[in-house]
Amino acid sequence: QVQLVESGGGVVQPGGSLRLSCAASGFTFSTYGMHWVRQAPGKGLEWVSFIHYDGSVKYCADSVKGRFTISRDNSKNTLYLQMNSLRAEDTAVYYCAKDYGSGNYYRFDYWGQGTLVTVSS
């Protein structure tokens, strides 16, 4: 069965950096697009970033542009999110989510359990 397991969350000071990982199993990781979606405490869902199955195409939300970078290592079945210049408003649970197709179909058919990032001094 499909499993997505995020790690790397924690408490970081404003302006700091963090790298999230998402280990995938139960499907052919290298053939699917992948996303990061976040949810601030008590709030709704916000799409953060997308990467094509082969890493050739990436998109991200305006709110994180220039600060967050999505990447993947298909040899390790792992998705990453490098987060720099973190702000208090980046505090959220970060979910990795599988796209139903190889590109940006934006249908999130499987989700990880999430990892909490808290930006606070």
Partner 1 sequence: DIQMTQSPSSLSAFVGDRVTFTCRASQSVSSSLNWYQQKPGKAPKLLIYAASSLQSGVPSRFSGSGSGTDFTVTISSLQPEDFATYYCQQSYSTPPTFGPGTKVDIK
Is 105 a residue that touches partner 1 (CB under 8 A)?
yes
Candidates 69, 84, 104, 118: give the one binding partner 1 (CB under 8 A): 104
96 class by beta-carbon count within 10 Å (0-12 exposed, 13-18 middle, 19+ buried): buried
CA 32-33-39 angle, 5° bins = 130
Please, which residue, 16 or 69, has the CB nearer to partner 1?
A: 69
Is 89 a residue that touches partner 1 (CB under 8 A)?
no
Binding residues (CB under 8 A) for partner 1: these are 44-47, 50, 59, 61-62, 95, 100, 104-114
